[in-house]
Amino acid sequence: MQPIGGMRFRCGVISLATDRLEDSKFWNDLAAAHASGRYGFGLVFFSQTHFTPEDIRDGLARNAPTLQYAACSTAGEIGGAEVTFGGLVAILFPRDEFSFSTVRIPDLRTIGFDRIVSLVTEAKKKFLQEAGTSATQSRSGSTETFALSLIDGLSVAEETVTAAFHWALEEIPLLGGSAGDDMRFAETSLILNGEIGNDCALLILVRTEVPFRIFKTDNFVPTDRKLVVTKSDPERRIIHEFNAAEAASEYARVIGMPPGELSPMSFASHPLVVRVGGEYYCRSVQKVNPDGSLSFFCAIDDGIVLTVAEPEGMTRTTKVAFDAVREDLGDIDFVLGFDCVLRRIDAQNRQATQRIQSLYRENNVIGFNTYGEQYHSMHLNQTFTGIAFGPAVESGDPHEPGRD
């Protein structure tokens, strides 16, 4: 696969992508953009198959030494032109249109809800004071604030972190994604301005005059097949028994498949959902363990009733979501997207990959495949969460990279 090249949007944001560390065009374009002095912040999404965290840190230090950025490893990258596996995507935001502030939340497994709230509350207060205005204003072209979350997808703490973020942020909307490691389930990586870590989360506060809308979409429909959690390990998100039987065997029986054939494709095609407040939310299976238990991407507990769901019409539901946002905004300039890795696997299984990629290309989606998605106060699975940016006056240096 050849390097994807660059894209520049009307609001001045640019994205660059490649699948090779030694791609001189990627790094030269990044260095040229940085040298222009226009770009104040970057988001970087990378595969640990072809890139180490040190590769990312060192490459940015050489080519954009004063750029502030947040980065995370992925389970796939969305580069606008295509969805890749094993790539690197960088998004650069112009300082005149966007302002950023970041906070790193360490030690997710032990830090506790109250400490997260304290750190985020202080960061929010400082950010808004520096901006000299309230968190949100009208949608008639005035400045507004939103928050992005990047969370270690193997921390088993996303629910607590997301709830604490939402509590502290109050009226500021939140969305984001859980870092992945290419479905190896060993270790993810997050980087904030050169500091590499895991068991941590990055919260990014953003203010902009560019109009935006936050949205989500999924495509699963509940059936009448139920699984009751009768034995579990909530702290590790492991279910040992469904309906008083071995979890993997009982799940396989209910979906009509031999236990030995269970795979990520099975989990993507037969998601499990839980009903909360009249609405269904996915609780996706991560993997089968040697003892026949199942590890999950989301919180579980004894007594929870899970319903087997069947995905339907991913292309249709995704298009409907994009069309609704476009009608609301007037047009879509680009979408920063967090797309569950199981959606990608399900699209492959149903031979819908090209249609989904076409929709992402038409709507200029840039982002990554996640181990979970955050949306307001909820940590989700098998969902696309995104922030769509609307029309803005096109500006920028004609020598910056354009769309190849």
For residue range 337-368, list pLDDT tens digits in order. 999 999 999 888 888 889 999 999 999 999 99
| The pLDDT of residue 80 is above 80 | no
Structural domain boundaries, residue 289: 220-311
pLDDT band at 86 (very low <50, low <70, confident <90, very high): confident
303 part of a folded domain: yes
User: What is the per-residue burial (b if ≥16 Cβ within 10 Å, else e) of 382-399?
Assistant: bbbbbbbbbebeeebeee
Q: pLDDT at position 162, please?
A: 96
Domain co-membership, 204 together with 280:
no
Domain co-membership, 293 together with 320:
no
Q: pLDDT at position 283, please?
A: 87
H-state helical runs in 78-235: 113-131, 158-169
Taking residues 308-336, what's their average pLDDT?
Answer: 93
Strand partners, 370: 340
Give the domain-ending residue among 282, 311, 340.
Answer: 311
Domain co-membership, 28 together with 161:
yes
pLDDT band at 143 (very low <50, low <70, confident <90, very high): low
Q: Which tokens sit at 61?
A: 């230090």
403 part of a folded domain: no
Domain co-membership, 120 together with 180:
yes
Please report, in angstroms and rounded to a whole number, the separation of the first and last CA atoms in the chain. Answer: 15
Q: How far is CA 222 from CA 192, 265, 286, 312, in A?
A: 39, 18, 19, 10
| The pLDDT of residue 142 is above 70 | no
Domain co-membership, 174 together with 104:
yes
DSSP string, 290-352: TTS-EEESS---TTPEEEEEEE--HHHHHHHHHHHHHHHHSS-SEEEEEEEHHHHHHHHHTT-
Provide the domain count of the chain.
2
Q: Which tokens sit at 62?
A: 């050489």
Cβ 383 vs Cβ 353: under 8 Å: no
Domain co-membership, 199 together with 227:
no
pLDDT band at 392 (very low <50, low <70, confident <90, very high): low
Residues 6+ apart with CB under 8 A from 156: 109, 235, 236, 237
211 part of a folded domain: yes
Domain co-membership, 307 together with 326:
no
